[in-house]
């Protein structure tokens, strides 16, 4: 799993820009990405350097995202017109929090802040662990599939350096969990995530896919690529495939 640390942010500006032909587009993307990480860091009194330039190179068999962030997983395009795809993710250790607030948005916001405190220093090694994306929010629908159940599990993938010996969280509500390999069918959407928007996205996705016996019903994952406070953040709905 790729990550960005505070030290990485400082080093990103050291590489040359090449011939400079893409400088204007690069600057706009870098400004957006910096604004995101600045928002995350400022909540926890972490200062980010203003030098934030250059692009990362995604490892083989990964899905590239803006500005050098990436998530691992082998990707199979299923339907480009409908913009959904299949991905496979390996087993790994995740830091997880379960919250059951009155609204979905309250649950994920509180869980995200707990995880950010763990990532930033509130752990047994006392250091910044590095951010990985996406953060996963596992949801369950009621039997009638008309509402979300209140409890939402939010999960942060531990960077490779900590997979073997995960730092212990100081917050007793955070649990380190070994999650099995995962095969999902995904679709991107943008904006705020509420119970209403999630139910709508799930309904639209089922209409696009049609009946599939290999896909679970009632349990889904909302994958978040940005801070919950970002209004037009990138999200994905993940439909979970039955184990092979």
pLDDT for 39: 53
Tokens at 198, concatenated = 């999630």
Tokens at 144, concatenated = 């009638």
pLDDT for 131: 83
User: Which residues, 6+ apart, have CB-to-CB distance to 122 below 8 Å?
Assistant: 169, 170, 171
Please give the chain's pLDDT, 244 residues, in tens: 334 344 443 443 333 344 444 445 545 544 554 555 455 444 433 333 332 222 333 344 444 333 333 455 666 766 666 688 998 888 999 999 999 999 999 999 999 999 999 999 899 999 998 888 889 999 999 999 999 999 999 999 998 889 999 999 999 999 999 999 999 999 999 998 999 999 999 999 999 998 888 999 999 999 988 776 777 888 999 999 998 7
| Spatial CA neighbour of 96 closest among 157, 182, 180 | 157
pLDDT for 68: 32
Q: CB of 181 within 8 A of CB of 133?
A: no
pLDDT for 32: 54
pLDDT for 36: 52
Query: Where does the chain have alpha helices with state H?
Result: 6-11, 23-43, 104-120, 195-209
At 171, is the secondary structure helix, strand, or coil?
coil
| Spatial CA neighbour of 201 closest among 229, 221, 228 | 221
Domain 86-241: which topology?
Answer: Multidrug-efflux Transporter 1 Regulator Bmrr; Chain A (3.20.80)
What angle do the packed helices 23-43 and 104-120 form, to 10 degrees?
Answer: 90
Three-class SS of 176-187: EEEECCEEEEEE
pLDDT for 149: 97
pLDDT for 227: 75
Residue-by-residue DSSP string for 205-238: HHHHH---TTEEEEEEEEEE-S-TT-TT-EEEEE
Cis peptide before 134 (omega within 30 of 0): yes
pLDDT for 43: 42
pLDDT for 93: 94
pLDDT for 178: 95
């Amino acid at each position: 799993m790729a990550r960005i640390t505070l030290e990485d942010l400082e080093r990103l500006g050291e590489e040359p820009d090449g011939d400079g032909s893409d400088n204007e587009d690069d600057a706009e993307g870098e400004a957006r990405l910096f604004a995101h990480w600045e928002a995350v860091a400022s909540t926890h009194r972490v200062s980010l350097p203003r030098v934030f330039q250059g692009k990362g190179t995604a490892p083989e068999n990964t899905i590239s995202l803006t500005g050098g962030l990436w998530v691992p997983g082998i990707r199979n395009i299923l339907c480009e017109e409908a913009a959904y795809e299949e991905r496979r993710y390996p087993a790994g250790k995740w830091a997880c929090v379960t919250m059951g607030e009155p609204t979905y948005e309250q649950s994920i916001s509180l869980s995200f802040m707990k995880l950010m405190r763990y990532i930033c220093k509130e752990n047994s090694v006392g250091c910044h662990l590095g951010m990985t994306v996406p953060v996963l929010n596992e949801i369950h629908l009621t039997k009638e599939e008309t509402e979300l159940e209140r409890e939402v599990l939010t999960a942060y993938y531990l960077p490779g350096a900590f997979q073997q010996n995960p730092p212990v969280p100081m917050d007793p509500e955070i649990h380190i969990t070994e999650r099995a390999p995962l095969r999902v069918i995904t679709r991107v959407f943008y904006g705020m995530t509420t119970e209403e928007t999630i139910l709508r996205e799930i309904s639209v996705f089922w209409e696009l896919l049609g009946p599939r016996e290999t896909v679970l019903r009632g349990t889904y994952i909302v994958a978040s690529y940005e801070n919950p406070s970002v209004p037009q953040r990138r999200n994905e709905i993940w439909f979970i495939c039955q184990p092979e």
